[in-house]
Homo-oligomer: A and B are copies of this chain.
Amino acid sequence: MADTDRSPFTPGRPRGPELRYGNRPTMKDVAARAGVGLKTVSRVVNSEPGVTPDTERRVQEAIESLGFRRNDSARVLRKGRTASIGLVLEDLADPFYGALSRAVEEVARAHGTLLINGSSAEDPDREQELALALCARRVDGLIVIPAGDDHRYLEPEIRAGIATVFVDRPAGRIDADTVLSDSFGGARAGVAHLIAHGHRRIGFIGDRPRIHTAVERLRGYRTAMADEGLAVSDSWVSLGTTAPERVRAAMLEMLTGPEPVTAVFAGNNRVTVTVVRVLAEQPRRVALVGFDDIELADLLGITVIAQDSAALGRTAAEQLFRRLDGVEEKPVRVALRTMLIPRGSGEIPPS
């Protein structure tokens, strides 16, 4: 036989996982060290009244010397509130969403709440996976920038009390609080601006038709054209991914087709960026108005329909906390104004 019993497998005592948080001290350890009861430590940690200054000092010392930090998981389990909210967005690397997320974070912070955000990468399945993961963590509330168009999967969660606000795009097939920019009005104003500068053949390049804002902006485009009695050729309209190659191809086609456009309306910031690049290579000057403002657009002279992403985030977060504070009302739907900022590219005359 090998050697003596090195693994004292005591059947009566169930063993936990190998390493628990690297064996961090618990309140029990602190209590033992300070020579007080468990609950007294809890009181000190939570600044509850009813502890003598002397006792408090002893406990504090024990906390310091052991490097104790309260385990919030246990706290959450007991208290039923996590003091955290979730944000599901499309892509944190997109400055538009970065600013939105940051605004939400600030509101959350003001409410003593932690923000957890994740990127859906425009994939509806991933959106769902992420949203449900956040629900499993029992976030108190959820802000969602939809990638998909069916959010019935959230119904049990909402019924179970997870406050939910949709932002930038409306929820699909459920009724919920929503905060949007006025995509329709913004696009309509932008296209009207181009028409006012003499354009008759105007192109539109937008995001995929599954995306609500893309559809709304297209509707704004069509309405503005119809307002002035202008016909729209199919070859002037392109909806699809915002991948540079596709946008580039669409743009080139509009420029070289049988009825070449003299102006373009770009459906969002990514489209605008690519369009600007393509137009820069063209000998002919083509007018451009883009949805969303872009950094340095002032220097490049790009006329845009600006939406305030920070305001979107802030408004959504405030509505969420209103719900968390117990306000009961029918789902609200807020639309934020957009602003046309003329910088040159939208004022180029037809050629």
Contacts and interface: CB of A to CB of B under 8 A. Distances in A.
A161 to B, nearest CB: 2
18 contacts: A16-B80, A19-B80, A20-B80, A22-B159, A24-B160, A24-B161, A69-B132, A71-B77, A73-B76, A77-B77, A92-B101, A93-B95, A93-B98, A93-B101, A93-B102, A105-B119, A276-B296, A280-B299
Nearest to A129: B109
A157 B93 contact: no
Contacts of A137: 72-73, 114
A294 B172 CA distance: 36
Interface in A269-307: 273, 276-277, 280, 294-296, 298-300
Count of this chain's copies in the oligomeric assembly = 2
Interface in A185-235: none
Interface in A48-97: 67, 69-74, 76-77, 79-82, 91-95, 97
Interface in A1-44: 16-17, 19-24
Interface of A: 16-17, 19-24, 67, 69-74, 76-77, 79-82, 91-95, 97-99, 101-102, 105, 114-119, 132-133, 135-138, 156-157, 159-162, 273, 276-277, 280, 294-296, 298-300, 310
Contacts of A117: 117
A72 B119 contact: no
Main secondary structure of the interface of A (DSSP, over half): mixed
A122 to B, nearest CB: 13
Contact of A69 (B74, B118, B157, B298): B157
B136 A71 contact: yes
Nearest to A277: B299
Given A77-B74, A296-B300, A161 B22 contact: yes
Contacts of A20: 80
Given A19-B161, A102-B92, A299-B276, A114 B119 contact: no
Identify which of A74, A118, A296 gathers the most chain B CB atoms within 10 Å of its CB.
A296
A160 B296 contact: no
A312 to B, nearest CB: 13
Given A73-B76, A95-B295, A114-B133, 6 more contacts: A21-B160, A67-B160, A69-B156, A71-B136, A71-B138, A93-B99
